[in-house]
Amino acid sequence: MHWSGCAFGYRPAGVASLEEYRRSVLARAYAPTEFSLTAVRSKLGFLPGRYVAWHVRRGDKTQGPAKEDDAIPLERYAQATNELLAGDPAPPSHVVICTDSPAVVEEAAQSTLRLGGMQVVFDPDEKRWDGYCALHRAGGIDRTDEMIAEVLTAQKIIEVLRGAECLVGCNSSYLFRVGAMLNPGDRCISLGSGRAHA
């Protein structure tokens, strides 16, 4: 997006790009409560020390009336990961899968993706709704404890993306976008068109 497309139509002094400005605003605004930090940290024990993170959207975001983008095959994620790690003398040996879809976890765990021997990791305790927002809007999820758990899951995913050495996902996902902007590195690939569908 060009500066002329910024909703406020101005360029803050000392900022080279709109992306840099967005990152600086988010870094200042991102202030999780102590409750959420404690709860999320307790859920991150499955993480390896160094890893690549994939955020894979399925469910209501890739089909039905809430569709925002096409589903991206996991082979494309593997290809993007190899592009990011090309020439890295000591690449991470794990890829952490963040997804709303149980089918993606199964596919990734059983797949023979060309990842040069990288181990696939995911949170085995995460509840995957395969379309939480659509279910919630339809009245299928209305218990407070389930809503709190889903908010903490989203927070956990942001922290996973924030701590990754490389990121692969789609900018059509707000979680991926926030995690990528909070990540201090510059190795990130957004796949997909990012377009909304009628």
Q: Residue 130 falls within a domain, yes or no?
A: yes
Q: Residue 2 falls within a domain, yes or no?
A: no
Q: Residue 5 falls within a domain, yes or no?
A: no
Q: Residue 198 falls within a domain, yes or no?
A: no
Q: Rounded distance, CA 95 to CA 164, Å?
A: 9
Q: Residue 3 falls within a domain, yes or no?
A: no
Structural domain total, the chain = 1
Q: Residue 197 falls within a domain, yes or no?
A: no
Q: Rounded distance, CA 79 to CA 19, Å?
A: 25
The pLDDT score that the predictor gives to residue 5 is: 47
Contacts within 8 Å (CB) and 24+ apart, 73-78: 74/104, 74/107, 74/108, 74/111, 74/113, 75/113, 75/114, 76/191, 77/113, 77/168, 77/191, 78/113, 78/114, 78/115
Domain of 42, in residue numbers: 17-190
The pLDDT score that the predictor gives to residue 57 is: 83
The pLDDT score that the predictor gives to residue 34 is: 93
The pLDDT score that the predictor gives to residue 2 is: 46
Q: Where are the beta strands (DSSP E) in the chain?
A: 52-56, 94-99, 119-121, 166-169, 188-190
Q: Residue 195 falls within a domain, yes or no?
A: no
The pLDDT score that the predictor gives to residue 8 is: 56
The pLDDT score that the predictor gives to residue 6 is: 55
The pLDDT score that the predictor gives to residue 43 is: 92
Q: Residue 100 falls within a domain, yes or no?
A: yes
The pLDDT score that the predictor gives to residue 197 is: 30
CATH of the domain at 120: 3.40.50
The pLDDT score that the predictor gives to residue 148 is: 85
Which segments of the chain have a pLDDT < 50? 1-5, 194-198
The pLDDT score that the predictor gives to residue 1 is: 40
Phi, psi of 88 (to 5 degrees): -75, 120
